[in-house]
Each structure stands twice: as structure tokens, then as C-alpha cells.
Structure 1
Amino acid sequence: MTALWQDEPEPQVSHPRGLDWVRVVLRGLPLAILVFGGLAVLLLVRLVERPLFGVQRPLTPHITQIVCRTAFVVLGIPYATTGTPMRENGAVVSNHAGWLDIFALNARKRVYFVSKSEVASWPGIGWLARATGTVFINRDRREAKGQIEVFRDRLSAGHKLLFFPEGTSSDSRRVLPFKSTLFAAFFADELREFMWVQPVTLRYIPPAGADPRFYGWWGDMEFAPHLIQTLAAPRQGRVELVYHPPVKVSDFDSRKALAAHCEAAVRAGLGDLDVETS
């Protein structure tokens, strides 16, 4: 793994042994059954839901939410939230720490992730993403108008779209600068007047005595070793979500102003965990 931040040692990946492997099995097997069993149920329900409701998804998001809530019980990771998820139509923007974000953000509020188009073709993950209603975008400016139409249709259907404005995951201890280009679509005439944005902070508290970046997954880190390390932990830390007040896009005069506001809110929610100052 190559560190993304200068002058910082790379995190040490622990190698499970003895009883660690017992915990891996006792947590990993139920987690796999939960995720893939939930996916199977979701796909079956979607066979009925799709022809009846189209883009509307009144049933399947509840399955995703139940699976994600239960995942934290299986992992033994305490999960808590503060603040109120918005009711308005719009998007959620959050800091990005790793694969656990998917469970954390879905567990409290039904959201639909917005991801780069390449993810759709990834083995396993792409299939899972498509099944749960992920919106795939191509960063080609020639397709911007079509993507705005997709956003408008999904937002009009009451979907909350989830963006990671950092553009990549971090080590869970910092907020990287938000890319304002990701906010440009919000200012399209078709969206600006009715769209709201809610900043959300993901806080990962590591197990006692563990590396502070224990739950962070970024850069060239491989998924399997990180998953095994999380499953093997004798004691877990905890995950906290902070929902900040939503803001209306039309109250801002530019995408840069909106991005700066959201970044400041998310950074404030991370509090003393945030070690990024620029």
C-alpha cells in the first residue's frame, strides 16, 4: 500500500492467528449470509416492484436498510447517529473513509449512491451496486445533460442521492478537500430551485489501543486483508453519524460556495479526529 500523505507511516496490517480466526468465522459467515441473502430477497422483490412502480422503490430500500443495520450487530460495532435526516428532495454529501461507509449511510436513512460508471463493470461489487439502485455517471462533459435528467428523475421520485465530494476515501481521520465540480449539476436550471443538500459526517472511533486509522480503507489497500482485520478484532470501536442541517442549493451563488459550506460542516463534525488543516 502506498501512503497518500507525506511523512506519515503506513498503517500496520495485523495478521490474525489463533482465536482471531474463530472471530473471523463467527462474524464473517453470518455477515456473508446476511448480505447475499438480503440481496437475493431484494432481487426477488424487485421483480414485482419494478413493473408496478418503475423508478419508484417503495419496498426494496427497506431491505437494504435492515441488512445494513444488522451488519453492525453481526460485526459487534456500536452504531449511533445524531441530528435529523432531511425530508426534502435532494442529495447527501459525506466524507469517505472506506467500505464500511456503505453500511453506515444506509443503516439510518435510505440513500442511493452516485458512483463512477466503471464500478458498474466490477465483478461482484458492480452487480450489488446496480441491484441497490446506484446511479452511475460518466465524467464526460458531453453526457452532462443526460446525467442531469437522470438526477432529476431520481430526485423527483423522492430518492436521496449520496455523493462523496472528496473523490476518494481517506484514512477516516481527516476530511480531504471537497471537489466543487461534483456540485455543478446541482445548479442546473432543472434542479437548482427544488434541490436541497445535507452534509453528513462519518466518525470512526478505533478499538482501544488500535491504530487510529483502523477502519480507514484507502489508496492501494486490499479489501480482503482489511475485512479480515475488522472481523478479527477482539474489541471493536464504534461508528457515529452526524446529520447537519440541510441547505437549499438556490441559497448559494456558486458551486464553490456550496462545496465550501458542506466541507466546513463535515469537517466540524469530525472535530478532534480531523488532522487535515488544508
Structure 2
Amino acid sequence: MIATLRIVVVAAAFLIVTLSLLPVQLAALAAGHSLMRRLPRLWHRIMCRIIGLKVVVHGRLSAERPLLIVSNHISWKDIMVLGSVADVVFIAKFEVRQWPVFGWLARLQRSVFVDRARPREVGVQTSEVSERLLAGEAVVLFAEGTTSDGNRVMPFKSSLFGAASAALPRAPDNTVHIQPVAIAYTGIHGLPMGRYHRPVASWPGDVALVPHLLGVLREGALEVDVVFGETIAFDAAADRKKTARHVEAQIRSAVAAALRGTLPD
């Protein structure tokens, strides 16, 4: 009964907040006003509180531009988590565009949708991402290309760094800055999260979205650590595969430290 009531309350709050901010975001998008970049952060911050996501941030978003944020990926909740702590746009799989509610929200946040199944369109999509980078936007790339179980970081796909390479010729000093960001779900109801509760935090691709979403809403009270690493200068001399492995190693180390509870204060 209590769990059902919680779902109803969260759903009602979602509708109230979203419908209240929607006209403002639509107007900002139509006018090309900078508010269209800032308003999603407010929405994500409110929704994190409503759902019960307690976000603990270590480090800070780099002020350097162009900036590509590279992160591990555990769940749809990662969007809210990162969106609540910084003004960012996301690179998303093309399928996300077709999802009910989530796809609509992703379009409102001006996500860039990439369809790797259509090689002929990759160049156009890469160009759009590089234009966002050159416009000074912080662009988030989930470099695993899928979601993990939250206990590990899967190998990064170096091909996804192509947008950084495409932006180099027009970037200041011919350099794109890459910032590793680690996400780790570490607690539930004030207690350390063990493997038993990991399915609440993670969302593997073979699990239906709606049942997982309802499970998260029933539980609430999830704690998540976000660790901003030091930026890496990516230029024409940089090797894309080596850069991907280096960023992957940094994120894997930060996730492991977060899960062990050994992150520095």
C-alpha cells in the first residue's frame, strides 16, 4: 500500500513539475535562448529529490571548452544524476528517441541521437556532436555503448570518440578537452548497497523499462556518487584508442573506490 502510494505521489509530482516547466522550455527552444540549456538542470534536480536520488559530487565540471564528458553507464537514472549537477547535453542511442516519455524528454533536452546501425548517417551525427562541442556545450558520452550491472565498467568503444576528432580542426588550439566522470550507486536507505540491491540501481538492456522504473519508485532513497576527474587534452597527435583506454582506466578506478567507500572527502 505504501509503495503504491509512493508511485502515485511521484507520478503526480512528475506531471506537475514537467507541465509547469514545459512552456518555458519550449519558448526558450523556439527563441534559441540560453535558458534552454539551464532549465533541464532544474528539472533533473527536482526529479532526483522526488524519486529519492541523493547525489554526492566529488570534484567539479571543467570550465575548459570544447568539453566532452565521458562517463560509464548503469541506468536511465544516470541522465537525471548528471543532468542535476551540470548543464549538459547527452549523446543517446537512436532508439531512445522512440521511447515513450523518455524519448520526448530527451528531445526537449536537445540530446543528439546516434544510430550506429546506419553507417551512412554517422558522419552527419558526428558533425552535429562536434558543432555542439564547438558551441561551448558540455556533451556527455556514455562510452560503453550500453549499460552495465553497476559493479564494473565495461570496455569503452573508441569509435564513439569520433566527435572529438571531428571538432579538432576548428577548436581553439586544435584541442578538445575530455573529462572522465564516474557514476557509482553506493547506498540504499542510508546503508551501503550490496549486490542484492544492485538490480534496483542498474538497468541491463534485457530488463523491461516499466517494471524496472516501478521498482526504483517503490524503493527510493538511493545514494549515488559522481566523480569528476582531471581533463585530458585531446589533439591531432593523440591516439583515439589509447585515449579511450586511459579514460576507461580512470573511471574504473573511481568506480571501484566509490563502491569500496574509499573516495577522498
TM-score band (shorter)? 0.7 to 0.9
Aligned match of 2:60 = 84
Which residue identity is paired with 1:184? Answer: G
Which is worse superposed, 212-221 or 81-90? 212-221
- Does structure 1 conserve the Cα–Cα contact (< 8 Å) formed by 2:72 and 2:181? yes
User: How many residue pairs align between the two structures?
Assistant: 249
Which residue of the other structure, out of 11, 15, 18, is the alignment partner of 1:32?
A: 15
- Aligned letter for 1:263? E
Gaps of 5+ in 2: 261-265
Within 2, Cα distance between the matches of 1:104 and 1:249?
A: 26
Shift of 1:253: 2.8
Which of 236, 240, 248 is 2:221 aligned to? 236
After superposition, give the CA deviation of every residue in 1:198-232 in whole Å (9 maximum; x if it has no partner).
01001112424752332111122122222221221
Superposition pairs for residues 16-165 of structure 1, below 5 Å? 18-47=1-30, 49-50=31-32, 57-88=33-64, 89-139=66-116, 140-165=118-143
- Counterparts of 1:236-275 in structure 2, within 5 Å, are 236-250=221-235, 253-272=238-257, 273=259
| Structure 1 residues 106-148: Cα deviation after superposition (integer angstroms, max 9, x where no partner) | 1111111112334334443333222211112333444444334
TM-score (norm 2): 0.85
Q: Structure 2: which amino acid aligns with 1:186?
A: A
Q: Is the 1:205–1:212 contact (alpha carbons within 8 Å) kept by the matching residues of 2?
A: no
- Contact map agreement 1:206 1:212 (CA 8 A) in 2: no
Aligned to 1:196: 177
Larger displacement relative to structure 2 (172-181 or 202-211):
202-211
**Which amino acid is 1:150 matched to?**
E
Structure 1 pair 70–251 and aligned structure 2 pair: CA distance change class (3 A): same
**Higher deviation after alignment, 192-201 or 35-44:** 35-44
| Aligned-residue offset at 1:254 | 1.0
Question: What is the SS of the residue equivalent to 1:195?
Answer: strand
CA contact (8 A) 1:198 1:244 kept: yes
Distance 1:19 1:144 in 2: 47
In the superposition, relative to structure 1, how do residues 270 and 181 fare at CA in structure 2: closer, same or farther (>3 Å)? same
SS at match of 2:183: strand
Which stretches in structure 1 are left out of the alignment for 5+ residues? 1-17, 51-56
Q: 1: distance between equivalents of 2:27 and 2:215? A: 33
Which position in structure 1 is the counterpart of 2:263? none
Query: Is the 8 Å Cα contact of residues 178 and 259 (structure 1) preserved in structure 2?
Result: yes
Name the residue aligned to 2:200. Answer: 214
How far did 1:160 drift?
1.1
8 Å CA contact 2:150, 2:184 repeated in 1: yes
Structure 2 residue 160 is matched with structure 1 residue 182: yes
Distance 1:118 1:66 in 2: 25
Query: 1:10 — aligned with what?
Result: none
Quick check: 2:130–2:164 contact (8 Å CA) kept in 1? no
Deviates more, 1:133-142 or 1:69-78: 133-142
Q: Which amino acid aligns with 1:219?
A: G
Tell me the distance in 2 between the aligned counterparts of 1:59 and 1:159.
Answer: 13
Consecutive aligned runs of 4 or more in structure 1 exceeding 6 Å deviation = none
SS in 2 for 1:197: strand
Q: Distance in 1 between matches of 2:210 and 2:177?
A: 37
Structure 1 or 2: larger helix share? 2
CA distance in structure 2 between the partners assigned to 1:253 and 1:177 by the alignment? 19
Amino-acid identity (%): 31
Give distance in 1, aligned partners of 2:15 and 2:152.
30
**Structure 2 vs 1, CA of residues 125 and 73 (structure 1 numbering), >3 Å: closer, same or farther?**
closer
CA deviation string 1:16-60 (max 9, x = no partner): xx221122222332133223433343113322x23xxxxxx5111
